[in-house]
Structure formats: C-alpha cells, structure tokens
C-alpha cells in the first residue's frame, strides 16, 4: 500500500535538474451542474474557500520542504471545480507561495480552467497580470435546450464575451471543452454547436463523451434518462463532431482532441511526441507532475500517488503538517513498458514493440487481440501493431489488453465511446 512515507521518499529523490509540471486542484464551484462528474463541491461561504486556499498553500510548503533540490516549474495548470472561485487575490496568494519556493522556467506555460459565466473583463486582465498564457473554457454545448437539461445556462453571447475579454487581455491561447451524449442532444444540434464553436476559433477543442453515473454522482440523478441518446446515437454524434471540426480546418488529435494546424499539439502528434495524461492529450514531456490539492495525482520517477479526495480530511491532514496522500502505485519494469505501449496506441494508433517494449513477453496479449484482428480493428505485422480506422473509436479497449488492471471485456465497448 503506497502512502505518505513512500511519497516522502519519492519527493526526496526528485531530480532538481529537470523541469517539472505542477497541477493545482480547486474542488469548489458556486453551483453544481447536473452532468458534472468531477471531484467538486458547492461553496457558498467565502471562508470555506479561504480555508482551502490556505491548506493548498500549506501543502506547497510541506511538499517543497521534502524536496532536496527544487526544480524549475515548466508548466502550471489550475483545474477544478472552478479555480477562479479563489478570486484574483486568492490566485495571487497561491502563486506567491509557489514563487517563494520554485523558479519558473523561461518558457513557462500557465494554464487555467474557466467557467465562461465568471470571466469579467477585470478578471481577464488580472489573469494576464498573473502570467496566465492559456485558458480552457467549459463550453459543453451551446444549444439552449441542452443547457437547461444539464443545469448549465450560459448563452452563446456569454461564451463569446468571455473569449473576447480573454483575448483583449492578451490571453490568446484558448481551449474549449465540449461534451456529446448529453440529454436533448441530436445530430442537428451537435452540428450547429460545432459551427458556432468553430466560429470563435479556439486553438484547441477537446470533446469527451458524457458518462452518466447516477449511482456515483447524486447530481446526475436529476437528469431525465429518457432524454439521453442511445449508444448508437452517441457513436454517431462523436463521428459527426470529428467530421464537422475537421471540415472547419481543425486537425484531429488522437480520439477526442482537435487543434488548429499551427498548434504545438499537431507538431507533437506528427513527430511521435504526443503524450496523454489524466487531463487528456498534451505536448508536455516532463517526467514529473506534482499534483497539489484534494484528489490530485502526482507522477514521480518511482510511480503515482494520489491525495485524499475528501476535502475536509485533506485540509485536516495539511493543517496537521502531514502529507494528504492516501494511495498510489509503485511502477516496476513491467508497468513501465506497458505504460509506454498504451500511450503510443492512444497517441499514434500504432506501436513498434521492438522499439517501445524490446524483449517484452506478449504471449498473453497478442492472443487476446486475435478477435479484434479478425474484426478488422487491429493489424499485426512482425513487431508492429496498428489500429485501423475502424478500430480507432475503441482504441481504449485495444490498449486495455496491455493493462493488467483492466482487461478488455465486451461490456466495456460502451464505456469507450
């Protein structure tokens, strides 16, 4: 069982000569959307938010005290929840604590996830002053009927205003997040959403399938299941979105991302340097990701470690001067080659085992893929495995053949779409 003691040792061994990425999680929103599956809670009182901010700053100090040689931060990403709920003063305070311990790389990228409904002109200017270089907007869908069904009313004009304010402030790198498989969505509404979103010209668009898990997320129980699209309709929506965005000049990246031809993601994909982490596709090749905040995940040289998701328990641990890490996985040689194979399949739709996993024993995995070969989803030649066009929508299932924690099953096809 991986816990705080392992975490401490891994931090102590961190290589200070290599730049790192940092992820800051803020698990609060002013209101909870019906579709949301994130680790977030509704915050009404500002004191609740302030106490969490102080805990986050405390964790920064605690973690850095365990690192013998502090590295430079090359990338910083605020996620949530709604990180802007901290306000400019709160964001500034956390950054000041970070800056008191770390140096920022000269090519430092500073990104933040935003709710378009809370992007006033003054706030956008403030983000630019704080050095934010990229903003990711939660658009989801611009159709009014869909917005009512998911409990997130944000008229197109609100999104357009947020985009204009961010660009006017000098934050030109914009990402949009979209969802398909939502209640009330149709092919025609999805087609229109693609046209309206493309007209705003975001640099990147990530489009994920909505996961309806009312047994896990109480807020989703308020969604009318009769209004959800069927599995076949979800597949059609995903295919249509890809077709439409490509027709508007975007390049398809992997299974769910799209980018302008000049975007670094496109170059990374073309050169085989694309990566995928818990946030999606990225051109970030840093080997270490420090996750700070409740439920955040860190990637260190020895393995993965995750903080406790329960916010009050997270705060109490930090206030007691203890790391909030509660679980993780130490990676061995077998885990590492499997991870490389899975990442290349997810990013390139192909893998050369002789390069990525030389000497690996594939005696169990290749027979498992035989049915997929027969169905035309996979092609295997010598040491190379390639996912066909027909197999791309279910590449997660194909890749899972190499994951000892998640073997492919027929029932998982729906989860991959």
Cα 417 to Cα 397: distance, rounded to the nearest angstrom: 10
User: What pLDDT does residue 405 have?
Assistant: 83
User: What pLDDT does residue 408 have?
Assistant: 54
Cα 74 to Cα 280: distance, rounded to the nearest angstrom: 18
Q: What is the CATH number of domain 333-416?
A: 1.10.10.920
Residue in 155, 205, 215 with CA at minimum distance from that of residue 180: 205
Q: What's the whole-model pTM score? A: 0.93
Q: Domain 4-289 belongs to what architecture?
A: Alpha-Beta Horseshoe (3.80)
User: What pLDDT does residue 417 have?
Assistant: 58
User: What pLDDT does residue 407 have?
Assistant: 59
User: What pLDDT does residue 166 have?
Assistant: 98
Structure tokens at 330: 């130490």
Residue in 218, 294, 220, 282 with CA at minimum distance from that of residue 254: 282
- The values of phi and psi at residue 129, to 5°, are -65, -30
Q: Supply angle C-alpha 302, 306, 311, rounded to 5.
A: 160
3-state secondary structure of 283: coil
pLDDT digits (tens, 9 = 90+) for 226-278: 999 999 999 999 999 999 999 999 999 999 999 999 999 999 999 999 999 88
Cα 311 to the chain's mean position, in Å? 20
Residue in 297, 295, 380 with CA at minimum distance from that of residue 345: 380
Structure tokens at 313: 């328990």
Q: Which residues contact 225 (CB under 8 A, 6 or more apart)?
A: 212, 214
Listed by start position, the domains of the chain span 4-289, 333-416
User: What pLDDT does residue 412 have?
Assistant: 44
Q: Is the dihedral of CA 177, 183, 188, 189 positive or negative?
A: negative
Cα 3 to Cα 326: distance, rounded to the nearest angstrom: 5
The answer to whether 91 touches 130, Cβ cutoff 8 Å, is yes
pLDDT below 70 — which residues of the chain? 407-417
Per-residue b/e over 206-235, b at no fewer than 16 CB within 10 Å?
Answer: bbbbbebeeeebebbeebeeeebbeeebbb
- The values of phi and psi at residue 143, to 5°, are -75, 125
Cα 275 to Cα 293: distance, rounded to the nearest angstrom: 23
Q: Which residues contact 339 (CB under 8 A, 6 or more apart)?
A: 331
The answer to whether 267 touches 283, Cβ cutoff 8 Å, is yes
């Amino acid at each position: 069982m991986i816990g705080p003691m392992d975490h401490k040792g891994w931090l102590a061994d961190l290589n200070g000569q290599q730049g790192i990425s940092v992820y800051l999680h803020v698990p609060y929103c002013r209101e909870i959307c019906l579709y949301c599956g994130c680790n977030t809670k509704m915050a009404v009182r500002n004191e609740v938010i302030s106490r969490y901010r102080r805990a986050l700053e405390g964790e920064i100090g605690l973690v850095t005290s365990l690192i013998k040689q502090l590295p430079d931060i090359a990338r910083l990403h605020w996620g949530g929840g709604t990180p802007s709920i901290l306000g400019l003063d709160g964001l500034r305070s956390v950054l000041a604590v970070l800056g008191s311990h770390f140096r920022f790389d000269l090519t430092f990228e500073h990104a933040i996830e935003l709710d378009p409904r809370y992007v006033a002109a003054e706030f956008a200017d403030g983000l630019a002053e704080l050095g934010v270089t990229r903003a990711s907007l939660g658009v989801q869908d611009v159709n009014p009927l869909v917005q009512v069904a998911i409990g997130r009313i944000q008229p197109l004009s609100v999104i357009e205003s947020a985009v204009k304010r961010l660009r006017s402030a000098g934050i030109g790198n914009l990402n949009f997040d979209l969802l398909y498989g939502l209640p009330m969505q149709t092919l025609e509404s999805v087609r229109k959403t693609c046209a309206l979103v493309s007209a705003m010209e975001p640099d990147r668009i990530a489009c994920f399938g909505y996961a309806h898990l009312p047994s896990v997320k109480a807020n989703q129980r308020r969604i009318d299941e009769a209004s959800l699209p069927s599995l076949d309709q979800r597949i059609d929506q995903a295919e249509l979105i890809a077709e439409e965005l490509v027709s508007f000049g975007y390049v398809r990246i992997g299974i769910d991302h799209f980018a302008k031809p000049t975007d670094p993601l496109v170059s990374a994909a073309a050169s085989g340097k694309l990566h995928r982490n818990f946030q999606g596709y990225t051109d970030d090749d840093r080997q270490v990701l420090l996750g700070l905040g409740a439920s955040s995940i860190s990637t260190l040289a020895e393995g993965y470690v995750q903080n406790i998701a329960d916010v009050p328990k997270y705060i109490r641990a930090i206030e007691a001067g203890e790391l909030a890490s509660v679980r993780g996985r130490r990676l061995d040689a077998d885990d590492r080659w499997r991870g490389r194979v899975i990442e290349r399949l997810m990013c390139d739709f192909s893998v050369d085992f002789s390069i990525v996993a030389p000497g690996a024993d594939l005696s169990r995995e290749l027979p498992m893929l035989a049915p997929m070969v027969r169905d035309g989803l996979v092609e295997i030649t010598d040491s190379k495995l390639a996912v066909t066009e027909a197999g791309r929508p279910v590449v997660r299932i194909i890749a899972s053949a190499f994951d000892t924690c998640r073997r492919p099953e027929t029932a998982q096809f729906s989860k991959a779409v």
